[in-house]
Amino acid sequence: MKKIINDPAAVVGDALRGMAAAHPELLRVRTDPALIVRADAPQAGRVALISGGGSGHEPLHGGFVGPGMLTAAVPGAVFTSPTPDAVQAAIAEAEAGAGALLLVKNYTGDVLNFETAAELAGLEGTDVRAVIVDDDVAVKDSTHTAGRRGVGGTVLVEKIVGAAVERGVDLAGCEAIARRVVGRVRSMGVALTGPTVPHAGTPSFTLVDDEVEIGIGIHGEPGRERIPLENADGLVARLLEPILADLPFEAGDEVLLFTNSMGTTPLIELYLAHGVAERLLAERGVRVRRRLVGPYTTSLDMQGMSLTLLKLDDELTELWDDPVRTAALHW
């Protein structure tokens, strides 16, 4: 294992301190328990929008804390859910009377711990609601979850609901928008290599030189199938077909296309794949109205990519276009 780290057991805390040093104008960081909060939080009259999960997926979620997106993020250990007390601490630090909305990727530990924290905060008088993100079409059940996994679509949910929060939409309205986005977003990924967790020191899985894994999760979970390596046209088609069939997406639909690196896939390959996806969608009569390309939902040093499609309407497009200023996303 070659990584730029000190103690493998201290990677998350060390990274959080570095993040705080890099972005003091945007956020503040706690390390016990670990949480990342907007520098200007709490904001009276505004819903607290909180997400989180295991570390190793950066910039998800801490890189999306700031105006127009998350109020707070709760990072667990690498590929490990944050504890309920950490989520409770984030709610207490971020919420200012308008309630809190938790955006939770569909992994068993995340769901249990965030919902436990919501119940405990509710007993103290805070209105806390949770929306589960489950956009991965690859499998119904996997190593870490009952039902579909939450993957790249989480970024789109966080951005769109974050814009609603910034506009002053109330808790019920923000929850409804989150559920709408979850219902309209689908994803699927492919791995060329497995990720290496620092404290493990070896890849989560191995592939021979001419193999890829189709339909992987963001923790190195197995996918639908292991196949011989294909060219970009073939791989992109294998990801798009099940996405298009699942919602389904149809000719005339307008979409946001998110082409995501799983960690070490370079932009030259990612842009190439994005161009293929745009061409294939155009052949289906699906219009790409908005785009996002880059490493936004990663799996440590995994080489691979994922595609996410969100079926847009005018309101969702306007919320996507609203200003955002975070460490990883800004316009």
Question: What amino acid positions are annotated as catalytic residues?
Answer: 57, 219
**Residue 166 in tokens:** 């910034």
Q: Could you write out the DSSP letters of every residue in 54-80?
A: EESSTTTTGGGBSTTSBSEEEEEEETS
**Residue 120: what residue type?**
L
Is the C-alpha dihedral spanning 311, 314, 316, 322 positive or negative? positive
Q: What is the DSSP letter of 328?
A: S
Q: Tell me the HSE value of 198 on the side-chain side, using a 13 A CA sphere.
A: 19
Q: How far apart are the first and last CA of the chain?
A: 37
**Shortest CA distance to 50 belongs to which of 136, 138, 131, 135?**
131
* Distance (Å) of CA 293 to CA 186, 277, 278: 16, 12, 12
User: Residue holding tokens 């294998």?
Assistant: 238
Can you tell me the distance from the alpha carbon of 154 to that of 16, in angstroms, rounded to the nearest whole number?
A: 21
CB atoms within 10 A of CB 92: 16
**Residue 138 in tokens:** 């690859």
Beta strands 225-228 and 100-105 are unpaired
Helix orientation angle between 171-184 and 314-321, rounded to the nearest 10 degrees: 110
Residues 34, 86: contact at Cβ < 8 Å?
A: yes
Can you tell me the distance from the alpha carbon of 170 to that of 174, in angstroms, rounded to the nearest whole number?
A: 6
**Residue 83 in tokens:** 């504890």
